[in-house]
Amino acid sequence: MTFLTDSDLAYLQAEAQLALPDKCNIEARSQDSDGQGGMTENTRIIYPDVPCRFALRGRGYTRSLGECIATDAEWVVALPFAQHIEAGMDLAQDGRTYNVQYVLDAQSHSTVRRCFARRVG
């Protein structure tokens, strides 16, 4: 059995990035004092133009919110392997915002970093 060398794995990770056709901004939220005893929520881009691929996980589902029906879906997002991402961060892509629910642990021969996100805006 042949194992991948570090250079082989780095090559595969670089090649996998070519299969990430879209770009997104990774954003973090913070709450800052508004100077009047309250807080204001701010969003700032911490990683701009990150290559990514969004794929719908399953078919989603609908739920009733009072008299409205809302569609809820979970997205699998692939990012470059070395990209830092954490649960709670936001992904902004094409005018839509997704909140990262959780990030899969990197495996020893992973070529991309995967996380699961829900659309919030």
116, 76 Cβ separation under 8 angstroms = yes
Contact call for residues 81 and 52 (beta carbons, < 8 A): no
List, for residues 56-103, the tens digit of each pLDDT value. Answer: 886 655 556 666 665 667 999 999 998 999 999 999 999 999 999 999
Query: What pTM was estimated for this model as a whole?
Result: 0.78
Q: How far apart are CA 4 and CA 101, in angstroms?
A: 31
pLDDT digit string, tens, across residues 7-19: 988 898 888 888 8
Q: For all residues of the chain together, what is the average pLDDT?
A: 86
| CB-CB contact of 10 with 105 (8 Å) | no
